[in-house]
Amino acid sequence: MAKELDRFDRKILDCLSTDARMSLTELSQRVGLSKNPVALRVKALEQAGIIVGYRAILSTQRLGLSHVSFVEVKLDDTRDAALKKFNDAVKNVPEIAECHMIAGNFDYLLKVRTGSMEAYREVMGRRISSLPHVQATSTFVVMEAVVEQTNPPLPEALD
């Protein structure tokens, strides 16, 4: 990590990760510093790449996207050119919420979000199966999300 986080930085990150629309006045009151130092710290956290953006968190339930599947993907070729081709193509499938290259018995793990099993089958049949170099897939359907984070946990403070 390029920037060491002190307790004020951690409090700023905690507050903004809960409510990014919070005013600087309210943020400074919660952090226990005046507005100018808080504004400078927020700017420094942005410049350090710790805060990479601000966004609205959407309700997948209310949008009708409550069906989640995890898909193991095995490729027929894992040389650099094949991996790049797969990586580029997988980014164009909007139903794929996450894609991770994995070390183990398969090559990638996808998190796929759709509105129903029928919609998932359509995405699997038309999009995922036809991605470059896909040899085999295995699907695991989520029954219940017990923990689902929108922000990573902050590392322990050293101060």
Output the DSSP codes for 41-79: HHHHHHHTTSS----PPP-TTTTT--EEEEEEEEES--S
- pLDDT value of residue 157: 54
How many C-beta atoms lie closer than 10 Å to residue 16's C-beta?
17
Q: Which residues contact 116 (CB under 8 A, 6 or more apart)?
A: 67
pLDDT string in tens for the chain (159-residue length): 456 899 999 999 999 998 999 999 999 999 999 999 999 999 999 999 999 999 888 888 899 999 999 999 999 999 999 999 999 999 999 999 999 999 999 999 999 999 999 999 999 999 999 999 999 999 999 999 898 887 777 776 544
Q: Which residues contact 66 (CB under 8 A, 6 or more apart)?
A: 60, 115
- pLDDT value of residue 159: 46
Q: What CA–CA distance (Å, rounded) separates 37 from 23?
A: 14
Q: Provide the token pair at 18.
A: 């809960």
- pLDDT value of residue 3: 67
Q: What is the pTM of this model?
A: 0.82
- pLDDT value of residue 158: 47
